[in-house]
């Protein structure tokens, strides 16, 4: 765990060498040509290679007083939803790569969406280098979708580690026409996170998984701010869940103030989405800043195993 006074950033992206090589070897999306990323729905994106340089990232985190970083496989690439052999090849490369990074980094484990291997998930979650399990929001965007992933949720709960809900790949919509490059991150990703948030609540997941901790990226797309509309349209009021968190990525003080008004400060954890954003250095004074940057992420990530010890191995 990071030093007590250092921040914990629960949401960053850093592509490892083997993952980059595997993406360059592909002939169908997602793939890289040089450093140009091609995906199914979004326009080609010019990746800055310096953004995925380990030494530069360590230096940037040090400057931001971030002592521990949790890395996420970029779910909008759509890797998890690929045919099982293709997904496994890329995910295994990701797991191997992040497991060899400096101890400053932990990672969110990923899993193929098709026929996930629950035994392998339990094994990798037992390793201290993995902070928890990442699920694309597109895989948990309704009550039924959460139910389909009950085995994975149980594996995380029994391992005493949280689930991180991150935006997934946007579907290709040929009839939509041309949209700006920011459209999917601003419109599509937000809608995904909102659907995942309300799906969890409609699923009544807490009654089935009483000890599971969940963190939603990007403030859950500000879904909690829509609680009043939820009630007006027939939803039921519920107390704030101390085991549900939202990260701060892509939002500033005005949006985060709205989240605090609905969830309280204890629900917010630092997530920068680096290299696409920067860690928040200050928020609502010293006490709130310490809560968001240090205390709340520690509470989110603190291992709370329910079962016995599991041996860890990465597929080769």
- CB neighbour class for 1 (10 Å; exposed up to 12, middle 13-18, buried from 19): middle
Q: Where residue 138 sits, what CATH number does that domain have?
A: 3.20.20.140
State pLDDT tens for residues 36-83: 999 988 889 999 999 999 999 999 999 999 999 999 999 999 999 999
Which residue range forms the structural domain that includes residue 240? 7-12+66-301
Q: Which residues contact 115 (CB under 8 A, 6 or more apart)?
A: 84
Using CA atoms, how far apart are residues 167 and 135, in angstroms rounded to an integer? 9
Strand order of the sheet with strand 31-33? Answer: 31-33, 36-38, 45-46
Within a domain: 43: no
In a domain, 2, yes or no: no
The whole model's pTM is what?
A: 0.92
Which strand (E) or helix (H) includes residue 115?
A: none
Asked whether the predicted pLDDT for residue 309 surpasses 80, the reply is: no
For residue range 247-287, list pLDDT tens digits in order: 999 999 999 999 999 999 999 999 999 999 999 999 999 99
Task: With respect to residue 48, please indicate whether it lies within any of the assigned structural domains.
Answer: no
Domain for residue 119, yes or no? yes
Q: Is residue 223 in some structural domain?
A: yes
pLDDT per residue over 78-120, tens digit each? 999 999 999 999 999 999 999 999 999 999 999 999 999 999 9
The total of structural domains in the chain comes to 1
Q: What's the helix, strand, coil split of the chain in %, to 5? A: 45, 15, 40
Is residue 126 within 8 A of residue 159, CB to CB? The reply is yes
Backbone Cα Rg of the chain = 18
Query: Would the pLDDT of 219 be above 80?
Result: yes
């Amino acid at each position: 765990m990071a030093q007590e006074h250092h921040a914990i950033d629960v949401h960053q992206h850093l592509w490892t060498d083997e993952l980059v090589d595997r993406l360059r070897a592909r002939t169908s999306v997602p793939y890289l040509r040089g450093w140009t990323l091609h995906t199914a729905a979004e326009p080609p994106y010019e990746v800055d290679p310096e953004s995925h340089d380990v030494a530069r990232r360590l230096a940037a985190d040090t400057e931001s007083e971030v002592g521990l970083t949790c890395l996420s496989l970029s779910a909008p690439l759509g890797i998890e939803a690929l045919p099982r052999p293709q997904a496994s090849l890329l995910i295994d490369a990701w797991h191997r790569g992040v497991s060899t990074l400096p101890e400053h980094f932990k990672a969110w484990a990923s899993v193929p969406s098709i026929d996930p291997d629950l035994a392998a998930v339990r094994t990798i979650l037992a390793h201290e280098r993995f902070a928890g399990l990442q699920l694309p929001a597109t895989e948990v965007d309704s009550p039924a979708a959460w139910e389909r992933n009950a085995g994975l949720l149980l594996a995380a709960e029994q391992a005493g580690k949280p689930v991180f809900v991150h935006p997934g790949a946007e579907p290709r919509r040929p009839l939509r026409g041309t949209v700006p490059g920011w459209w999917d991150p601003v419109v599509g990703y937000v809608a995904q996170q909102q659907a995942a948030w309300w799906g969890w609540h409609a699923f009544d997941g807490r009654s089935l998984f009483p000890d599971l901790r969940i963190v939603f990226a990007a403030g859950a797309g500000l879904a909690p701010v829509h609680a009043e509309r939820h009630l007006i349209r027939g939803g039921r009021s519920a107390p704030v869940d101390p085991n549900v968190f939202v990260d701060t990525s892509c939002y500033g003080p005005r949006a985060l103030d709205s989240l605090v008004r609905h969830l309280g400060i204890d629900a917010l954890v630092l997530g920068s989405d680096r290299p696409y954003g920067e860690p928040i250095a200050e928020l609502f004074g010293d006490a709130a800043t310490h809560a968001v940057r240090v205390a709340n992420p520690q509470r989110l990530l603190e291992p709370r195993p329910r079962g016995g010890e599991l041996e860890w191995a990465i597929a080769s």
